[in-house]
């Protein structure tokens, strides 16, 4: 149980290292009859692909996915779906000078301590390349959601790079795909470009905040008390490389509110469903979805592979200085956006399937009626 | 799979409702030979007990735990340990006026929607009373840790109530147990007392931030990539009632740092183990413990049961006003401190056992040597 | 993970020892809205109760079950159901002479080796008393099945005691409850009574074969390839104390047939469903139910606690002779009948819930139509 | 949760269909530092390979395994190991005449009913080709066992083909690999050859019994009460295609014994470990290994794809006759021998790892001393 699997009914096991022959996702529990082909999954992988802008790693990987099992004549069969991505750009020589030294802030040292193995080729299993497999699995989850819950929409974007946050007043959904930062605020995107240009020149990196919103989520998803929807989202996001904090709705800011301010008041909507005056809860109460937008936010720390000199030690315990050359993301948060979306898709599909098992309800059906 | 279990090898299933005959924890996977009795577990329950100060609910519950199985002649046998707490103060009449109305910000409405059951007696399963079972399980975990990892120390405290944060300069471990807020800053504790007094009078409630630190954690704990130590801690804390955000080390603040600032530089310590210049990582890199203090922080929203009038609807969909009388915590974060500690204890014990299964190492042993 | 839980979505954790204060089952995943009370579960426990005939142990236990959680106003809530049975007849003095000696054929020695704990009070966790908790959980499963799959009928009976097998020509469902052996063949029941009388007098014990049949099982249950319906039934039955073999349909005898003889030919029935010329398959093909009767059979070895002198050793490794006095079942297979039924009920309910999660089908619905 | 995974800590997920591009096993939880390469795993696959004698299917598949992840510089890293086997001989035209008809005794009909998908290409996921992935995973488990438990030896053989059983008096370990039937009785092997020749000519098939023995198993393995060693072995073997019965030690025959006869008497051995006068228990008491040989036996039904005419129906519900041409095993039990061995290897490794997590013991260590 080295736990490379997540999900309860929609179970995703990712495998593969940064510089091995291939990596991928073994997905078990995808419902049968879902129309899907490699191109549909490739669409999402292309969003995460390295080398697409000057703000991400210059590693060139086509990240072409192959479906090796579980799909027959254009639809899923209910058996495991194997999604494989071959590694084609494995220039391991780039990493030869860090074979002995541990990068501060990197998993080098803990993997060595735990496993006694040093896969110096680009971080091995601890590399963010593993997230390509998540995005592939998320693509399959999206295909299943398109069938089961066609009204559901999942969108990720960045709300902060280092010191610079977006202005919510300027928020525009359409802007998100029109800049290399998945930024919903056109002005902020320009500021970030300036900031990042200077940062790259200095060889430094920076952190970021990513927000993922799911609209059209049916009420009733979530398994209290240890498989709550927010619990599973927190685990999903925290498991992404470099994430250090996760928030639902109001998040850490909820600590600053009074009960009076934090209450999302309830009214009856015209469609016979409850509506809320606000969404401090992030669409989740008691671990169960309310039918409002589900809002998750997570902080991505700056990548530890930088051109700045840092103090460290070698495997033999000697003091050393380290500068990490190679092709690294100056703001790894950018490429975390499609990953966060993928995790949201997997978690929501999982809970839709769970809900069927728990209460027998089709998607959007709940057992308790209001009105 | 309604998922009332957490943990991989140390598996805790909590059961019971706020106003049923009893609640408890069924704990499977506790190692054999651990010295434990009811008094040792009661010690931790007493810390969480309601009615101990004017800042917590006035519900009077002895919360006396009984060990019904898994312990023989003063030590665990390796079989399931059943920890039962009888509910003695079940004044359900207090809740009669909320049988039809949904409390804004409360799980009333989502439980009703999902399950079609309204357990109006104090929130039923969604009540924070469930956390008594967690604290009992945490007490057992502490007993096992005392045997397996005697150097390990777990301490929780509050760092914020509403607008008022502690001053880290005044941090003092000994102060924590000397005020009713588990506050490590004596000055802040006084300020909070003043603040809370006014808040209670107004019938309002407020949020809080709790921090839990584990000192003496061996390096090498954590199962990348979906059972990372931080992933499991995030899930554990987010599953606690009313929690809306979880941070590891630098947390959401990591988004504001550069790679240069965020790097915890590495040196060799005198005891032949690596030491770090700082702990932005919160003691976890790549999901595996470094040997530094493990630092987790979570935000608890204000309780939704307040004496302020709020707009809501009834089960039949009619608009209504609601004021929640009864015995509620004005700052539920206070009683979340022992709960956070308990979750930390369970997660660390679980990963110590996992590590044995994964790499065969005794506690504190790792496979990779440095130096 | 000492694995005292079984089931995928309907998850049963049993706890408790032979001579502790209580034992029980923590059941998670029971659907909400199932009408149930303690009396409905007690009905099944009474079938297993010791001391009901001269052919079972003379231990006197009322085995009265209490529901401590998960049921509100007469129906399940979807939260964990705690079923507790207090141990009232704990005469541990009966066992004092076996504190040091290991009974041949008993788990005494392996529990000691593994755990280093000797719970000499009647076998502790290894006692067949644990099966009372299974029967309680099975009672809850039966209540849920009565709602979800009202046509389903589960019946267990004995087909062999030692050398004496039933004659299938004389098989009569109504006879089963009319003798103390759950024997469907009235003549065999008489022969068994004579045989058992002599056996008890001699202080010996004997093995048995139990068969459990489920009628009215919907087609489509089973999760290939490692949660096949027959796989889960085999595990469920083999986990019962003293079981040494499990068969589905033709069982071990399938090895002696040709493909021509073993084929259950298929025809269309009048109700538009397939019918089969025979049931060699035991109602399961490829791990999925066909809609025919599901037929499971298991062998129970003779109890190892006998009045015959056997050679053994003590904890200190010295040779010794042992005779086990106390109140033991001369044919523990008899009381295994309700246990086998309970396991069948739990497994079928679990797969009905799983099927909903997997393919979204209500009970009895499948995705593929014939005709 | 369509459950294509088995194992607790050593977790194997198999994927792939009979006629898809590839199949394989995703293995999570293999300890780090195990020396292994593709050739070591290929060794075991070659034993199961089709087309090696006239008694198995004439399908020609090299079944060449590739290790895509989890192994670096000749040893496992503790991360998931992906074992892929490409399908090269996918003559799906052979199956065109059975696209509409269901084969009696085959999973065709239940897969169709459950999933609404008909993968007519050789049975799709229900094909015994899936077992190649199990053998690959078993090869990895063997490599790990060679490191962790070098004294452990796992050997499978056949004890029966149809009406013809081996004579235990002629049992010879060395004979097993000297005939195409894995038969330990040279005389029986000759008789079987004669029998099989006639059977093949007639286009019929036949069942078989396979026995797998593990020698050198340490005492103390097994997780009572639902992860008992025998429980897990029963599930493992029953999950193999066409298996209808599983026995441990005395098996179904235990029903015919008295307690006196069934008791394996205990003595102290010269090496300070207990020895037993017999092994009715099959090396397992109370679900925990005793240190004796672990003995498992399972019955494999005759393959349902035969040249004999049988009555069946089509997908549209019309009556039809069916003869299955193609390249099928006349006695699929023969190729089940290496599969049974593989399952034994996986289960034993899993329990060795579990035991470390449960009691902290290295392999062969137990907590309770005798003598």
pLDDT at position B94 = 58
A235–B238 CB contact, under 8 Å: yes
pLDDT exceeds 60 at position B57:
yes
Contacts of D259 in chain C (CB under 8 A): 105, 204-206, 302-306, 308
Mean pLDDT of A155-168: 98
Closest chain B residue to the Cα of A243, Cα to Cα: B251
pLDDT exceeds 80 at position B330:
yes
pLDDT at position A310 = 92
Residues of B98-112 as b/e, b for ≥16 C-beta within 10 angstroms? beebbbbbbbbbbbb
Q: Provide the CA C227 distance to its chain's centre, in angstroms.
A: 19
Domain boundaries defined on chain C: 5-359
How many angstroms away from the CA of D369 is the closest CA of chain B? 14
From the candidates A29, A137, A166, A225, which should be mutated to test the interface with B, based on the most B CB atoms within 10 A? A225
C302–D111 CB contact, under 8 Å: no
Q: pLDDT tens digits, residue range C198-213?
A: 999 999 999 999 999 9
Q: Is the dihedral of CA A118, A121, A122, A124 positive or negative?
A: negative
Q: pLDDT tens digits, residue range B20-56?
A: 999 999 999 999 999 999 999 999 999 877 667 777 7
User: What residues of D are in the A interface, CB distance below 8 Å?
Assistant: 1-5, 8-9, 11, 13-17, 20-24, 26, 28-30, 32-33, 66, 68-70, 72, 75, 77-82, 84, 114-117, 119, 124-125
Neighbouring CB atoms inside 10 A of A307's CB total: 18
C259–D285 CB contact, under 8 Å: no
Closest CA to B271 of B291, B254, B252: B291
Closest chain C residue to the Cα of A359, Cα to Cα: C31
Q: Where is pLDDT greater, at D53 or B299?
A: B299
Q: pLDDT tens digits, residue range B244-265?
A: 999 999 999 999 999 999 999 9
Q: How confident is the model at residue D316 (pLDDT cuts 50, 70, 90)?
A: very high
Low-confidence winner among B114-123, B148-157, C106-115, D175-184 (lowest mean pLDDT): B114-123
pLDDT at position D371 = 83
Q: pLDDT tens digits, residue range C36-72?
A: 999 999 999 998 776 677 777 766 778 999 999 999 9
Mean pLDDT score across all residues of chain A: 93
Asked if residue D316 belongs to a known ligand binding site, the reply is no
CATH class name, domain C5-359: alpha beta
Assigned token pair, C360: 């979204």
Closest chain A residue to the Cα of C11, Cα to Cα: A358
pLDDT at position A72 = 96
pLDDT exceeds 60 at position A92:
no
Beta strands in A194-313 (DSSP E): 208-215, 243-248, 266-268, 274-276, 284-285, 288-289, 294-300, 310-313
Mean pLDDT of C255-264: 96
Q: Where is pLDDT greater, at D358 or A81?
A: A81
Mean pLDDT of D79-88: 96
D80–A117 CB contact, under 8 Å: no
pLDDT at position D211 = 98
pLDDT at position D93 = 59
Mean pLDDT of C304-329: 88
d(CA C45, CA C338): 8
pLDDT exceeds 90 at position C232:
yes
Out of D254, D303, D333, closest to residue C301 by CB: D254
Structure ipTM: 0.97
List the subunits that have 3+ CB pairs under 8 angstroms with C. A, B, D
pLDDT at position A165 = 98
- CB distance C83 to C36 below 8 Å: no
Share of chain D above pLDDT 90, in %: 81
Out of C5, C106, C258, closest to residue D204 by CB: C258
Question: SS3 string of chain C?
Answer: CCCCEECCCCEEEEEECCCCCEEEEEEECCCCCCECCHHHHHHHHHHHCCCCCCCCCCCCCCCCEEEEECEECCEECCCCEEEEEECCCCCHHHHHHHCCECCCCCCHHHHHHHHCCCCCCCCHHHCCCHHHHHHHHHHHHHHHHHHHCCCCEEEEEEEEECCEECCHHHCCHHHHHHCCCCCCCHHHHHHHHHHHHHHHHHCCCECEEEEEEEECCCCCCCECCCECHHHHHHHHHHCCCCEEEEEECCHHHHHHCEHHHHCCCEEECCCCCEEECCCCCCCEECCEECCCCEEEEEEECCCCCCCCCEEEEECCCCEEEECCCCCCCCCCHHHHHHHHHHHHHHHHHHHHHHHHHHHCCCCCCCCCCCC
Q: How confident is the model at residue D90 (pLDDT cuts 50, 70, 90)?
A: low
Q: pLDDT tens digits, residue range C264-278?
A: 999 999 888 999 999
Q: Where is pLDDT greater, at A54 or A158?
A: A158
pLDDT at position B125 = 95
Mean pLDDT score across all residues of chain B: 93
Share of chain A above pLDDT 90, in %: 81
pTM check: above 0.90: yes
pLDDT exceeds 80 at position D85:
yes
How many angstroms away from the CA of A364 is the closest CA of chain B? 10
Q: pLDDT tens digits, residue range A259-271?
A: 999 999 999 998 8
pLDDT at position A91 = 59
pLDDT at position D95 = 62
From the candidates C220, C353, C356, C366, which should be mutated to test the interface with A, based on the most A CB atoms within 10 A? C356
pLDDT at position B98 = 74
Low-confidence winner among D7-11, D30-34, D242-246, D366-370 (lowest mean pLDDT): D366-370
pLDDT at position D362 = 73
Assigned token pair, B195: 């603040």
Assigned token pair, A243: 């994430």
């Amino acid at each position: 149980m080295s736990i490379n699997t997540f999900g309860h009914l929609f179970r995703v096991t990712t495998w593969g290292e940064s510089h091995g022959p291939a990596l991928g996702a073994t997905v078990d529990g995808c419902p049968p009859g879902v129309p899907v082909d490699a191109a549909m999954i490739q669409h999402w992988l292309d969003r995460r692909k390295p080398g697409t802008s000057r703000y991400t790693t210059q590693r060139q990987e086509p990240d072409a996915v192959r479906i090796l099992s579980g799909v027959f004549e254009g639809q899923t069969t209910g058996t495991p779906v194997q999604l494989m991505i071959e590694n084609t750009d494995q220039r391991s020589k780039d990493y030869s000078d860090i074979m002995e030294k541990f990068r501060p802030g990197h998993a080098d040292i803990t993997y060595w301590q735990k496993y006694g193995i040093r896969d110096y080729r680009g971080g091995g299993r601890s590399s963010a390349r593993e997230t390509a497999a998540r995005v592939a699995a998320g693509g399959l989850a999206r295909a299943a959601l398109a069938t089961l819950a066609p009204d559901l929409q999942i969108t990720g974007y960045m709300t902060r790079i280092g010191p610079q946050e977006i202005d919510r007043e300027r928020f525009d959904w359409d802007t998100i795909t029109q800049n290399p930062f998945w930024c919903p605020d056109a002005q902020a995107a320009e500021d970030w470009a300036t900031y990042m240009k200077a940062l790259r020149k200095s060889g430094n990196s920076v952190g970021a905040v990513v927000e993922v919103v799911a609209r059209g989520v049916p009420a009733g998803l979530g398994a209290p008390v240890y498989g709550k929807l927010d619990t599973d989202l927190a685990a999903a996001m925290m498991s992404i490389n470099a994430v250090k904090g996760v928030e639902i709705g109001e998040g850490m800011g909820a600590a600053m509110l009074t009960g009076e301010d934090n209450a999302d008041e309830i009214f009856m909507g015209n469609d016979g469903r409850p509506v809320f005056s606000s969404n401090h809860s992030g669409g989740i109460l008691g671990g169960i979805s309310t039918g409002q937008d589900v809002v998750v936010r997570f902080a991505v720390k700056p990548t530890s592979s930088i051109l700045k000199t840092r103090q460290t030690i070698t495997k033999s315990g000697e003091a050393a200085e380290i500068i990490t050359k190679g092709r690294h993301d100056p703001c790894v948060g950018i490429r975390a956006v499609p990953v966060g979306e993928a995790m949201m898709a997997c978690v929501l599909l999982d809970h839709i399937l769970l809900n069927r098992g728990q209460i027998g309800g089709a998607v959007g059906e709940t057992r308790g009626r209001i009105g």
